[in-house]
């Protein structure tokens, strides 16, 4: 992995967060900067894209046909389409490698049914394969207006935390739609525990208040290392700040992710070596502990 290589940006966000629209804004921003990205659409159920995808999962699998053929519901159809596409991942990576010398950014749009990408085996295969090849950053897109209440804010942060620890990749939260509502309240809640407590007391009572109180304490460490940026897919506000955070995440990839991955690979190699030695030991033991006739046959005449 060379530090001169391209950057993979994986866009993740709940349905309605404006994830795909934000990806289109990023696409336009990079074209303005004379660094056009290579765009990959991984959502088989999207009806229409606001951008031209260089690789489109819909060209490989027909989501509605998969639903009909396997007698599946919408989510099952998306997941099965995703699994079928993953079987051709080697072809996608071959294209990525060919484009690597001429492309600075690869953008990956994922399904709005967020769990299908983050918690499926196929999603893990894709993220791990990308991260093993080039710097890979996860951008978690949040619908800022919908996150203005403490309860929805907390559920979004819990989801962000789970995605970070599931992927273990450089990660940032992009608060979208800041042209409608500023994300400063969210930054304030993350930085000032008491401010969140006060907002909580104004809106929640009883068990939920106690639960979110406890969760906010748990997330305090998560907040201290979290990259946050406010953006607007509609106006383009915050694009410079977004890419400044992406640059920070790429530095983290080389400083922390790569050494950690090397350690894991070394540990895996050591374990495989031990397993082989153990198998060889058992084999030699089995060969030596034989009946007298076989031992006699093995002796030189």
Please say if the pLDDT value at position 168 is more than 70: yes
Token pair 């995440």 in the structure block, residue: 249
Residue 298 has pLDDT above 70, yes or no: no
What pLDDT is attached to residue 3? Answer: 56
* Nearest CA-CA partner of 149 in 191, 211, 204, 190: 204
Residue 98 has pLDDT above 90, yes or no: yes
Percent of the chain scored above 70 by pLDDT?
93
216 vs 135, more confident: 135
Q: Is the predicted pLDDT of residue 245 greater than 50, yes or no?
A: yes
pLDDT value of residue 283: 79
The stretch 163-180 carries a mean pLDDT of 95
Q: What is the per-residue pLDDT across 16-44, written as a single tens digit (0 to 9) for each? A: 999 999 999 999 999 999 999 999 999 99
Residue 4's pLDDT band (cuts 50, 70, 90): low
pLDDT of residue 19: 95
Looking at per-residue confidence, does 269 or 37 come out higher? 37
Q: 3 versus 52: which is more confidently predicted?
A: 52
CB 106, CB 7: distance < 8 Å: yes
Please report the pLDDT score of residue 121 as a whole number. 92
Please report the pLDDT score of residue 205 as a whole number: 62
Closest residue by Cα to residue 53 from 36, 77, 65, 34: 36
Question: Span 269-293, mean pLDDT?
Answer: 74
- How do residues 177-220 score in pLDDT, each as one tens digit? 999 999 999 999 999 988 988 888 887 566 677 778 788 888 88
Averaged pLDDT, 266-290:
78
Q: Please, how many CA atoms are within 13 Å of residue 67, restricted to the half-sphere of its CB? A: 11
Hey, how many other C-beta atoms are within 10 angstroms of the C-beta on 267? 10
Q: What is the pTM of this model?
A: 0.86
* pLDDT confidence of residue 295: 46
User: Worst-scoring range by mean pLDDT, 13-22, 143-152, 213-222?
Assistant: 213-222
Q: What is the CA radius of gyration of the chain?
A: 24
H-state helical runs in the chain:
19-32, 63-70, 74-86, 89-99, 114-118, 121-131, 150-167, 184-191, 193-203, 206-218, 220-224, 239-252, 258-288, 292-298
- The mean per-residue pLDDT over the stretch 136-144 comes to 97
The burial of 63, by beta-carbon neighbours within 10 Å (0-12 exposed, 13-18 middle, 19 or more buried), is given as: buried
CB atoms within 10 A of CB 285: 9
């Amino acid at each position: 992995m060379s530090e001169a290589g391209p950057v993979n940006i994986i866009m993740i966000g709940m349905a309605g967060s404006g994830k795909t629209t934000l990806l289109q804004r990023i696409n336009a921003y990079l074209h303005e900067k004379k660094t056009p990205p290579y765009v990959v659409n991984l959502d088989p159920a999207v009806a229409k894209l606001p951008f031209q995808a260089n690789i489109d999962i819909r060209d490989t699998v027909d989501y509605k046909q998969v639903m009909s053929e396997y007698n599946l519901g919408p989510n099952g159809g998306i997941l099965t389409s995703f699994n079928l596409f993953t079987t051709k991942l080697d072809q996608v990576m071959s294209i990525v490698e060919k484009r690597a010398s001429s492309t600075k950014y690869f953008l990956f749009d994922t399904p709005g049914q967020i769990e299908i990408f983050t918690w499926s085996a196929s999603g893990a295969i894709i993220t791990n394969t990308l991260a093993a090849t080039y710097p890979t950053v996860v951008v978690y897109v949040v619908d800022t207006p919908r996150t203005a209440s403490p309860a929805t804010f907390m559920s979004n942060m819990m989801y962000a935390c789970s995605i970070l620890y599931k992927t273990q990749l450089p990660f940032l939260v992009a608060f979208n739609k800041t042209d409608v509502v500023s994300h400063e309240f969210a930054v304030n809640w993350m930085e000032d525990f008491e401010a969140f407590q006060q907002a909580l007391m104004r809106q929640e009572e009883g068990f939920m208040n106690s639960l979110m109180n406890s969760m906010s304490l748990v997330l305090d460490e998560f907040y201290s290392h979290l990259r946050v940026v406010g953006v607007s897919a509609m106006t383009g506000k915050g694009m410079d700040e977004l890419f400044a955070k992406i640059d920070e995440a790429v530095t983290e990839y080389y400083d922390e992710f790569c050494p950690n991955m090397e350690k894991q690979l070394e540990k895996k190699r050591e374990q495989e070596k031990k397993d082989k030695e153990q198998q060889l030991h058992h084999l030699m033991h089995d060969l030596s502990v034989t009946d007298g006739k076989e031992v006699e046959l093995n002796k030189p005449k």
